[in-house]
Every structure is written in structure tokens, then in C-alpha cells.
Amino acid sequence: MRRYHSLLAAVAILALGGLLSLVLADYRLRLLNVSVISAIAVIGFNFAFGLAGLISLGHAAFVGLGAYTLAILSTAFGWSPWLAIPVAILVTTLFAGLIGYPLLRLRGHYLALATLGLNVSFTIVVTNWISLTGGTNGISGIPELRLGAFAFNDERRFLWLGLVLLALCAAFAVTLQRSRYGRAMMAVRDDETAARMTGIDVTRVKITALCLSAAFAALSGTLFATHVRFVAPEDFNYAHSIIYLAMLIVGGEGAVAGAVIGAALLTFLPEWLRFLGDAYLAFFGLMLLAILIFLPTGLVGLAAQLRRLGGHREAETTS
């Protein structure tokens, strides 16, 4: 039964995404790619924020570190991007582990502020370390991903690759969430003292959650870099961290499905609401406010509530 859930998540992503990849036009496919890449980052963010309760506002820095590592290795050093991907993930995860020790002594608002600072610092460093990062000009000429003669160089092909990776990430995340590790993270978020009292090493669980979130962020960053084939500092500034947070909250924190739905919705919404013009930001703010107040468990929570409501109706009519 429990093994089903991860399989179900993967199949749903592949089926729905695969179908859309065949019917949508190129511009929509580009947005779908952006959704898939964001969804991987938000699934990662869910480990830190949704499960372990770490209020981080620096997730985009990890995405950026992954993207820049790949960009530098594949251009300046001529590495194959396939080789640069695992190295970028490793570098970012190690960085998260190192920075986690001092950072995770902080809690709540202080942690939020410190991670925001981390993100701002990241932007400053990549903007000013011109010899390595190209400064505000960014890094262009990132090679495409290819398997033999098959290059993932158009939107449809890249989407297939992205969907496979997203499906794997979702399946892994669902499995982990329903394991002792996921429960330990949620226990730490709910009550650190009680978690200690069940033998949980709270510091280790928090660091693990941060490293996992950074690893997913780095994968997302490497996909971003090989999709756009260009990286620049503003792609990873703190505003993106806030968007990841918004995606998770709108979709439903603590749920892998919520991360995916939130990422897709907040990528497409600006396009659907293009007619609002500048009023879009006001609409976006109000929508976020409404969700925080009326739907604290996000769209996934709403779906669960509706299902329960439907269940009650059925019970009433049959009795």
C-alpha cells in the first residue's frame, strides 16, 4: 500500500506531463519546463520548510550554486554537463551541510533573516566575482544535454527529460516522507524537546533536511542552466526564494503533490492573468493572503477537505 504512493506520484507526473508535451504549443511547453524545474526545487524546499519546519528564505541561493557550478565546469573547464550535474549537486549539498551548523542554531524569524542574508550574499558574490562568474553579464554558452545523437535542445525534448527527473524526485520524496526519516523531520518541527525524548538527534535531522533541500535545489539549478543555457545573478536572487515559498504554501506545505501543483500554478498564473497588467501583483498578493488565511494547508488541503465533504454527503444519502 505504502509503496504505491511513490509509484502513483511518478506515474501521474509522467502521464499528465507526457500528454501535455504532445498537445501544447512551444511557448506553453517552455512554461511547462519552467514549472518542472521549479517543482524539483520546491519538492526540495518541502523537506526543510514543510517537514522539518526550517523557515528558510535562501533556497534560491542553493539553486544558483548548483546552476553556477554546472555553468562554470561546463564552460571554463569544458566538462560534460552530465558529469557536472552530480558534482554541482555534491558541491551544493556540502555547502549546505557546512553552513547548516552555524545557521541552524537559529530558529524562526532569526533563521529566516539569516537565510535571506545568505541569498543576498550569494547574489553579491556572483555579481562581483567577475573572473569566475562573468558578473552581471552572466555565463552563456552552456552546452546542451545530449544522449548520443539525441540532443535535449528543444522544449519538447527537454520536457521529457525534466519529467523523468521530476517523477524520480517525487517518488523519492514521497518514499522518504513516509519513512522514519520523514517522521523524524515532522517530529522535530512539531516539538523539538519531545523529539529529543524519542532519541532523535535534532541537529542532525535539521542538517539532513537542509542538505536534502539543497541537493534538490542544485538539481533544479543544473536543469535551469542546461535549459536556458545561460545563467545570470538575477535568476537566483532572494525574490526567487520567496516565490519558492509561495509555491509551496499555495500548493500545500508538507505534501509532495502540493509542491508540484504550486510550482505549476504560480508559473502559469502570470500568463493566464496577463490581461490584468500591472494589477497582477496586487492580485497575487491578495491571493496569497487569502490562501494563508482560509486555506493554510494549500490546494492539497482543500482537495482533502472537499473529499471529506463528498464522503459525508454520500454517507447521508445512503443512510
263 binds other proteins (CB under 8 A): no
Output the furthest CA–CA distance in the chain (Å, rounded): 74
Q: How far is the CB of 93 from other proteins (least distance, A)?
A: 22
Whose Cβ is closer to other proteins: residue 27's or residue 101's? 101
Which helix (H) or strand (E) is 231 found in, with range? strand 230-231
Give the pairing of strands 230-231 and 150-151: unpaired
DSSP 85: H
Residue 202 CB, shortest distance to other proteins, in Å, is 7
2 scored as a contact of other proteins (CB under 8 A): yes
- Find cell 539569516 and name the residue: 114
> How is residue 143 annotated by DSSP?
P
**One residue of 22, 199, 294, 318 binding other proteins per CB under 8 A:** 199
Least distance from other proteins to the Cβ atom of residue 177, Å = 11
Please select the residue that binds other proteins; options are 191, 234, 271, 314, rule is CB under 8 A. 191
- Cα separation, 81 vs 147, in Å, equals 11
Cell of residue 310, nine digits: 463528498
CB of 254 to other proteins, least distance (A): 7
Q: How many residues bind to other proteins according to rule CB under 8 A?
A: 21
Grid coordinates given for 50: 514543510
Contact 248, 42 (CB under 8 A): yes
Q: Does 141 bind other proteins (CB under 8 A)?
A: no
d(CA 78, CA 292): 46
Query: Is 57:242 a contact under the CB 8 Å cutoff?
Result: yes
Q: Which of 90, 164, 202, 295 binds other proteins (CB under 8 A)?
A: 202
Report if residue 193 touches other proteins, rule: CB under 8 A: yes
Rounded to whole angstroms, the Cα distance separating 266 from 119 reads 21
* Cβ proximity to other proteins, 194 vs 289, nearer residue: 194
Q: Which of 105, 180, 308, 313 binds other proteins (CB under 8 A)?
A: 180
Stretch near other proteins under the rule CB under 8 A, chosen from 35-43, 102-110, 182-190, 279-287: 182-190
Contact 262, 57 (CB under 8 A): no
Asked if 1 is part of the footprint of other proteins (rule: CB under 8 A), the reply reads: no
Instruction: Provide, rounded to whole angstroms, the least separation between the CB of residue 297 and other proteins.
Output: 10
Does 190 contact other proteins by CB under 8 A?
yes
Q: Grid coordinates representing 55? A: 523557515
- Return the closest-CA partner of residue 248 out of 114, 54, 93: 54
Among 27, 94, 137, 196, binds other proteins (CB under 8 A): 196
Site residues for other proteins per CB under 8 A: 2, 179-180, 183-184, 186-187, 189-191, 193-202, 254
